[in-house]
Amino acid sequence: MQNLSAVKWLAPAKINRFLHIVGQRDDGYHLLQSVFVFLDIADELIIRSNASDQITFDASAADLVTADNLCLKAAELLKVRVTAASDKITDVGADIFLQKNIPVGGGLGGGSSDAATVLMVLNKLWSVGLSQRELLEIGLQLGADVPFFIQGQAAWVEGVGEKITPVSQLADEPVLLIFPPLSVPTISVYADPDLRRDTAKISDWPSMDLTAKIASWHNDMEAVVLKQHPELTELFEITADIGNIRMSGSGSTFFVKLALKETEVQLAEVISELSQKGYGSQITSTQGISRLHQQLAENFH
């Protein structure tokens, strides 16, 4: 076991392999169907428990250090749960440092993943002993994507994000991530009157070959983002020779699932053109299991 105060706990990114909006609740929340998979890129958190009764938070970028950062909110919610359970517990504290590696506002779930990591690690460090189900309930208070990161497996996701069914039939695959030089506020996508909210619900997915079907599904938010930012349509032409491009979540990150037919020369040419036009990019791979869960298993028995 490592010195836990020195462990860099991972908060992996995710992509939506597709995202259908199948309805909207009376309270305004949108109902979705999607498959979430992890990526082999992650934020890193150093989390140290202390007896100061205080929670401190710092980050690699000063603009992340705010009172509404999800890392801080997650720790505070868990602390309320701990102290409410026993009036004898009054001195739980923590120092949290976030190394931000996942692009902010890119649709990769970085903030939600950070919150999930804080909850799961402090649950161990503070010896709270909450079950995964209890952590999922807390996570949902922080954001619709947080429960996915807590449960730790690639999953079919429904409802507002709280209905999670692990899937195991998707192999890990290389992908090219493309980072436009802009962020897309999720609220602007959901508020757009052109957003499709009535895609037919897929009811028989458990019996399907997801590997075969998933490529034929789409992201309902993509058309809205392309309408709001028409300059992004050039990505489809730039990447046409290496695979089908798709947006993740509400954007602005796009991804291309790479196949064996791509050569290093083709990829290099595409990446070079993307760079010349101001786009960042990174080759990574999808993952069916969260690396954070592997870390927790290795460090806590």
Q: Which two tokens stand for residue 130?
A: 């909450």
Q: Which residue has the higher pLDDT, 45 or 90?
A: 45
Whether the bond between 188 and the residue before it is cis, its omega within 30 degrees of 0, is no
Element (H, E) at 166: strand 163-166
Residue 191 has what pLDDT?
Answer: 94
- Residue 168 contacts residue 154 (beta carbons within 8 Å): yes
Q: Which residue has the higher pLDDT, 232 or 104?
A: 232
| Chain mean pLDDT for the chain | 93
CATH number of the domain within which 164 lies: 3.30.230.10
3-state SS class at 154: coil
Distance CA 296, CA 301 (A): 8
CA distances from 293 to 12, 161, 235, 288, 297 (A): 10, 20, 34, 11, 6
261-297 confidence digits (pLDDT tens): 667 788 999 999 999 999 999 999 999 999 999 999 9
Point out the residues that are catalytic. Answer: 14, 145
3-state SS class at 301: coil
3-state SS class at 155: strand
99-134 confidence digits (pLDDT tens): 999 988 788 999 999 999 999 999 999 999 999 999
Least confident of 77-86, 192-201, 230-239, 273-282: 77-86
Helix ranges (H only) for 107-219 are 110-125, 132-142, 146-151, 186-190, 210-213
Distance CA 14, CA 68 (A): 22
Of 99, 256, 237, 268, the closest CA to residue 179 belongs to: 256
- Residue 42 contacts residue 76 (beta carbons within 8 Å): no
Element (H, E) at 294: helix 291-299
Residue 263 has what pLDDT?
Answer: 72
User: Could you tell me the sign of the dihedral formed by the alpha carbons of 29, 132, 38, 10, in that order?
Assistant: positive
Distance CA 153, CA 86 (A): 32
Instruction: Give the chain's domain count.
Output: 1
- Residue 115 contacts residue 140 (beta carbons within 8 Å): no
Of 123, 155, 157, the closest CA to residue 138 belongs to: 123
- Residue 50 contacts residue 69 (beta carbons within 8 Å): no
Which residues are registered as beta bridge partners of 99?
Answer: 44
**pLDDT at residue 77 greater than cutoff 80:** yes
Residue 190 has what pLDDT?
Answer: 93
Question: Are β-strands 155-159 and 30-50 bridged in parallel, bridged antiparallel, or unpaired?
Answer: antiparallel
Distance CA 191, CA 171 (A): 35
Residue 262 has what pLDDT?
Answer: 61
Distance CA 179, CA 253 (A): 5
pLDDT band at 1 (very low <50, low <70, confident <90, very high): very low
Domain of residue 215, residue span: 1-301
**pLDDT at residue 149 greater than cutoff 50:** yes
